[in-house]
């Protein structure tokens, strides 16, 4: 049985399509890193700031006292620093790009997921939620994500970041092979 | 507070989010298909960013205009964390940065996963003391760079990376998007 290979050009079928080269985009992110290092002294990264923000969400869940006493959040309290404002910028830029390219569109279940696991929204939401828990726990344990470790650390030739890249991709390939195996 | 300290990072984040969307990596399909080896967009974006970014940052550091911000090589923690990250990325279909971009392009399931990410961060904070004394302190090599531990200079690393990435992407493109 031949699996249908998904056509990426068609998949964002708002009214438009994106035709920017991934190499151009990668070079753009590289240049953005020059500015991040040279001008701001703050490499591109996401999850450090994300866990600062998470402490705010934690207050109604585990109580303000527990958050205040937590040794991790003591070292990383909620404050509106460079990283948190950077997080605010990401959706703004992505929204602008999607609207300008006519590719903004509501998505409940992505095509690749639906092909394999069916159209159930609940199933997709549960998986997305659990995947989100695991990815953030892993990112914090590793000390960074695809941005902070992968790009910012990778471009500095940091040992920790290249270990992260190797293990992350190897694990992802293995899990994907199992999850998306042909039944 | 200096207004530039707010505008600066917002503009940087917006530029990053814009590029991620234009690079199609805010699409769950593109990310899943990278791990299924059907679409190499993620590696093309990351590989080019690392080589272009790395050469510029190397120049900035060599000319005294920046320093390195290397993360600690707590090898056990990084290895376990990266493995969990790989699992999470395939199940979620996003990484944390692309997820934030995807939410703003209309992906509702990315938003649901972002709440999961809050949960993951809370779980991490709650288990931090134990991790600190059992995992984060194992095989700690410090803030080391590959040129430091190998003695191979930066220039050679980047030449090898650029050549390797170039060859790999040339091979990928010559296959014309055919499946592996």
Same domain, A33 and A99: yes
Same domain, A121 and A71: no
Helix (H/G/I), strand (E/B), else coil: B163: helix
- Asked whether residue A159 is assigned to any structural domain, the reply reads yes
For B164, residues 6+ apart whose C-beta sits below 8 A from its C-beta are none
- pLDDT given at position B175: 86
Cα–Cα distance between A11 and A163 in angstroms, integer?
33
Q: What is the CA radius of gyration of chain A?
A: 19
Same domain, A16 and A98: yes
- Check if the beta carbon of residue A152 is closer than 8 Å to that of residue B73: no
- Asked whether residue A29 is assigned to any structural domain, the reply reads yes
Q: What angle do CA A100, A80, B130 make, to 5 degrees?
A: 110
* Average pLDDT score over residue span B136-159: 97
Cα–Cα distance between B23 and B25 in angstroms, integer?
5
Segments forming the whole domain that contains residue A124: 109-183
Stated pTM of the model: 0.94
Among chain A residues, CA nearest to B147 = A157
Same domain, A93 and A169: no
- Asked if B8's CB is within 8 angstroms of A82's CB, the reply is yes
Handedness of CA A144, B90, A127, B102 (dihedral sign): positive
Of A72, A89, A105, the residue at which a domain comes to its end is A105
Q: Which residues of A touch B44 (CB under 8 A)?
A: 22-23, 26
- Asked whether residue A21 is assigned to any structural domain, the reply reads yes
Cα–Cα distance between B20 and B14 in angstroms, integer?
10
Q: Nearest CA of chain B to the CA of A117: how many Å?
A: 12
Same domain, A35 and A101: yes
Same domain, A139 and A76: no
pLDDT per residue, tens digit, chain A (183 aa), is 334 444 444 444 456 788 899 999 999 999 999 999 999 999 999 999 999 999 999 999 999 999 999 999 999 999 999 999 999 999 999 999 999 999 999 999 999 999 999 999 999 999 999 999 999 999 999 999 999 999 999 999 999 999 999 999 999 999 999 999 976
pLDDT in tens, B23-64: 999 999 999 999 999 999 999 999 999 999 999 999 999 999
Same domain, A79 and A118: no
Cα–Cα distance between B56 and A84 in angstroms, integer?
25
Q: Which residues of B touch A125 (CB under 8 A)?
A: 109, 112
User: Which of B81, B128, B169 lies nearest to residue A142, judging by beta carbons?
Assistant: B81
CB pairs under 8 A between A and B: 517
- Asked if B120's CB is within 8 angstroms of A109's CB, the reply is no
Number of Cβ within 10 Å of residue B38's Cβ equals 20
Q: Between B96-104 and B4-22, two packed helices, what is the crossing angle to 10 degrees?
A: 90
Q: Which residues of B touch A9 (CB under 8 A)?
A: none
- Asked if A11's CB is within 8 angstroms of B112's CB, the reply is no
Same domain, A117 and A57: no
- Asked if A18's CB is within 8 angstroms of B17's CB, the reply is no
Helix (H/G/I), strand (E/B), else coil: A101: coil
* Average pLDDT score over residue span B108-127: 98
Cα–Cα distance between A155 and A138 in angstroms, integer?
21
Of A56, A79, A105, the residue at which a domain comes to its end is A105
Q: Which residue, among B17, B76, B110, would best test binding to A if mutated, counting the most A CBs under 10 Å from its CB? A: B17
Closest CA relative to residue A80, chosen from B100, B68, B1? B1
Total number of domains constituting chain A: 2
- Asked whether residue A123 is assigned to any structural domain, the reply reads yes
- Asked whether residue A2 is assigned to any structural domain, the reply reads no
Of A105, A134, A149, the residue at which a domain comes to its end is A105
pLDDT(B1) > 70: no
Same domain, A115 and A27: no
Same domain, A88 and A142: no
- Asked whether residue A1 is assigned to any structural domain, the reply reads no
Q: Which residues of B touch A47 (CB under 8 A)?
A: 96, 121
Same domain, A17 and A94: yes
Structure tokens of B71?
């993360």
User: Which of B9, B97, B123 lies nearest to residue A146, judging by beta carbons?
Assistant: B97
Same domain, A164 and A142: yes
- Asked whether residue A3 is assigned to any structural domain, the reply reads no
pLDDT in tens, A111-137: 999 999 999 999 999 999 999 999 999
> Rounded to whole angstroms, what are the CA distances from B137 to A2, B70, B127, B142?
48, 17, 14, 11
Residue A107, strand partner residues:
B107
- Asked whether residue A4 is assigned to any structural domain, the reply reads no
């Amino acid at each position: 049985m031949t699996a249908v290979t998904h056509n990426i050009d068609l998949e964002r079928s708002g009214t438009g399509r994106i035709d920017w080269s991934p190499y151009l985009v990668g070079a753009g992110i590289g240049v953005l890193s020059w500015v991040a290092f040279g001008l701001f002294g703050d490499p591109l990264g996401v999850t450090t700031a994300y866990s600062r923000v998470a402490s705010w969400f934690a207050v109604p869940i585990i109580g303000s006292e527990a958050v205040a006493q937590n040794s991790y959040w003591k070292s990383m309290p909620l404050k509106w620093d460079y990283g948190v404002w950077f997080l605010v910028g990401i959706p703004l830029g992505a929204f602008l790009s999607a609207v300008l390219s006519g590719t903004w569109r509501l998505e409940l279940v992505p095509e690749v997921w639906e092909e394999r696991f069916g159209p159930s929204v609940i199933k997709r939401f549960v998986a997305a939620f659990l995947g989100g828990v695991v990815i953030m726990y892993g990112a914090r344990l590793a000390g960074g994500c695809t941005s902070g470790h992968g790009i910012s650390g990778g471009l500095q030739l940091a040992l920790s970041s290249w270990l992260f890249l190797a293990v992350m991709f190897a694990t992802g390939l293995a899990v994907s092979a199992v999850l998306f195996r042909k039944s | 507070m200096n207004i530039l300290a707010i505008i600066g990072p917002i503009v940087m984040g917006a530029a990053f989010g814009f590029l991620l969307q234009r690079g199609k990596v805010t699409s769950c399909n593109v990310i899943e298909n990278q791990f299924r080896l059907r679409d190499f967009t993620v590696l093309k974006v990351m590989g080019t960013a690392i080589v272009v970014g790395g050469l510029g940052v190397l120049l900035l550091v060599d000319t005294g205009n920046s320093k390195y911000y290397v993360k600690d090589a707590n090898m056990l923690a990084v290895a376990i964390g990266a493995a969990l990250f790989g699992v999470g990325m395939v199940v979620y279909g996003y990484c944390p940065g692309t997820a934030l971009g995807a939410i703003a392009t209309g992906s509702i399931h990315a938003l649901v996963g972002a709440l999961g990410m809050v949960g993951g961060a809370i779980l991490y904070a709650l288990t931090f003391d134990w991790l600190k004394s059992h995992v984060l302190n194992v095989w700690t090599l410090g803030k080391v760079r590959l040129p430091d531990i190998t003695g191979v200079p930066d220039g050679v690393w980047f030449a090898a990376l650029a050549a390797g990435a170039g060859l790999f992407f040339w091979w990928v493109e010559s296959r014309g998007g055919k499946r592996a």
